[in-house]
Chains A and B, each alone.
Chain A
């Protein structure tokens, strides 16, 4: 069996540590390569499906960050759908003892069987840490206390993940009431004096979008969504159109955070205030590579397909460990992006992606199914 080498600072890695965003990229690559290989080893040895899938994948061959991208077979949504059951992606121990699962959310369903994702509490905590990591140095961009309005459908992953993000930031998350229309949602955020708004930018089936909330806000003359009430906006699911961003800025709203990810793996990238059109990779609890047509990681400035996976979580004592429940590595999220390296104007050294375009599973994206049976 391949013997994992340990990195001496591994125990110290917390996924909400801003240092991960400011260290040199070469150093970051070493960390991600280690975490990736550790996860791959765990999957080969604990998930029968991957024992077969990665039978010919030798950990010894994987020496560099780029090797992680090119030498490990990718997984697609169709592979997940072809499985007899989504429990096939769980480690044997968790499959036998499902009480270890903390949260479940499903995706898709409009074009095929919904896919199911399971997370342990340790997985979840790592994800929430990833969500808050870029915000820890930017507390000045939030009202105090934070009172957020989460317009996402709580049956979608964005409901609980954003709520827990706000809790971790010390704020109060107000979840949109199930079944409320946009007018009622505005009244609800007005009633609670919400100062941070969380919603998809434009219409999806995942929750009331910023656009539809604005429509209702103006139609009914409530005009709550403006800089006097709302300081910051978290959005995801689709990139925000420029004219919508200009409109919100024109209303006096100052700070925008665009979260990129999917129910399968999240958050994988987050925008900064310096260059909102570029999203910083959230490398740490996740890996994310951009594959060119030749299957190799692309160079800066080139376009390629996004593959991602969960490679870190916490154990019961809060120590860094492998991702626990549903296992995915080099999973095709279906997007083509431009890869950008170099230090950003915001000071972070993490690679970025921009010009995101859905190229696979298009129907799923358009229909935005949220576990439709």
Chain B
């Protein structure tokens, strides 16, 4: 019998196993890992660590942290088994896991570029403000309070993206990975890699081992919101990744009894694509398919809805139909497999919802698998984020109709802004015009919606900046 991978909690520099356990399996039900839940005592220990270590962590220099982080990437997912475990736990194709993790590792290895993009410099703690070459003051960024970060189950690159910024912000933090998928595995792997890197350095850097606490919550759904809210400390900050509903419920529970500095919600999705009459149809079709079929088509940047201007519609649908057939069900660990697997329960919910909205669907014949499918729907039909590799095509007569319909659909989804809108056109003016009226965080010109540029703001914000308190010092 193969030994199960152990995924412990991590508190004050120690990996903590408890009697609260959950077996994580692949989608066939084969056990892969043992996830250890945190007891109330461990959770309190983690919260104490936030306060106890905050002063020391706040004193560590940014260049030192950068060096430690860069070195840690030599150890993060440095074995083939790490990618395989993630693929099996998450139900993601290994090709996708490799691409996702490797691109984020590259981002972390070049973290100075990201800091430069955020702050205009690398050591952001005190930056000069000049006017006409004359120094008029400084911008000072200081830690804004202990953080509780709640990670989602559907993004295994996110632990690296978030934990890197938590450490760089020099706030102490509790991270709660999802107890489903590979979230907890990817999180604890980051801690292991970070610690290996820290071991290379002296006593000052050792303190970084206490910066982050990882707490696994195994409670059933109804108690999970309450238990998760309990991780938040007074005067702290909260980062919530998840659906709008989860974010709302959690915010309400947290605000109920804890005075906190800030809640940062990263739950927005509903990414869309628009194809205008002058678009390069072949290119647009390739990009759209790409943006709909990443992993399991379940990312916040996944395009589910495409608004197509009338005259280009026949050519686009023809091209899309051709690619539709190219997708085949395959083994997760096979290099050529492009689409991942989901649980039968999730699949049932998704198919049920599609049938509820449109009356029929032909997807779902293969167990744990949703085929890539294109649905042509009426322009006025309701649409929503669907965590599956499906495209809903809406044909509209004019650019103005497209604008009206996107606004209606975004509003119907109770969003102030959707995450990404990809616009396919050869005319930059048209692109620029649409960006003025459509309420999206990010627009992409002739690029698929799922291609995240990690050097830019995500959901309209640089996460690290949100975790800091900015002060202006006039001199």
In the complex, A219 Cα to B44 Cα: how many Å?
8
In contact, B39 and A219 (Cβ under 8 angstroms): no
Q: Report the minimum CB–CB distance from B24 to chain A (whole Å).
A: 24
Digitize B48-68: 1 where CB-to-A-CB distance is under 8 Å, 0 elsewhere.
101110000000000000000
Q: Which of A211, A221, A243, A247 is in CB contact (< 8 Å) with B235?
A: A221
From DSSP, what is the main secondary structure of chain A's interface residues?
A: helix
* Interface residue range, chain A: 10 to 19
**In the complex with contacts A211-B40, A243-B39, A219-B45 CB distance below 8 A:** no
| Most B-side CB within 10 Å, residue of A221, A223, A246, A247 | A221
In contact, B47 and A218 (Cβ under 8 angstroms): yes
Q: Report the minimum CB–CB distance from A230 to chain B (whole Å).
A: 14
B234 in the interface (beta carbon within 8 A): yes
Please give me the residue from chain B that is nearest to A243 by CB atom.
B41
A3 in the interface (beta carbon within 8 A): no
A6 in the interface (beta carbon within 8 A): no
B110 in the interface (beta carbon within 8 A): no
In contact, A214 and B44 (Cβ under 8 angstroms): yes
In contact, A219 and B41 (Cβ under 8 angstroms): no
Which A residues touch B45, using CB under 8 A?
247, 250
In the complex, A218 Cα to B234 Cα: how many Å?
9
Please give me the residue from chain B that is nearest to A242 by CB atom.
B41
Q: Which of B41, B47, B51, B258 is in CB contact (< 8 Å) with A244?
A: B41
In the complex, A215 Cα to B146 Cα: how many Å?
16
Which A residues touch B40, using CB under 8 A?
211, 215, 243-244
Q: Report the minimum CB–CB distance from B316 to chain A (whole Å).
A: 54
A144 in the interface (beta carbon within 8 A): no
In contact, B51 and A221 (Cβ under 8 angstroms): yes
A220 in the interface (beta carbon within 8 A): yes
Q: Report the minimum CB–CB distance from B236 to chain A (whole Å).
A: 9
Q: Report the minimum CB–CB distance from B256 to chain A (whole Å).
A: 12
Please give me the residue from chain B that is nearest to A221 by CB atom.
B51
In contact, A221 and B234 (Cβ under 8 angstroms): yes
**In the complex with contacts A246-B41, A247-B41, A247-B45, A219-B52 CB distance below 8 A:** no
In the complex, A214 Cα to B233 Cα: how many Å?
13
**In the complex with contacts A223-B51, A223-B52, A218-B41 CB distance below 8 A:** no
Q: Which of B39, B44, B50, B51 is in CB contact (< 8 Å) with A215?
A: B44
Digitize B7-44: 1 where CB-to-A-CB distance is under 8 Å, 0 elsewhere.
00000000000000000000000000000000111001
In contact, A223 and B233 (Cβ under 8 angstroms): no
In contact, B44 and A218 (Cβ under 8 angstroms): yes
Please give me the residue from chain A that is nearest to B19 by CB atom.
A243
Q: Report the minimum CB–CB distance from A49 to chain B (whole Å).
A: 46
Q: Report the minimum CB–CB distance from A84 to chain B (whole Å).
A: 45
4 closest residue pairs by CB, A with B? A218-B47, A247-B41, A221-B51, A218-B44
Can you report 10 residue pairs joining A to B where beta carbons are below 8 Å apart?
A214-B44, A218-B233, A219-B47, A219-B230, A219-B232, A221-B235, A223-B48, A243-B39, A243-B41, A244-B41
Report which A residues bind B (CB closer than 8 A): 211, 214-215, 218-221, 223, 243-244, 246-247, 250
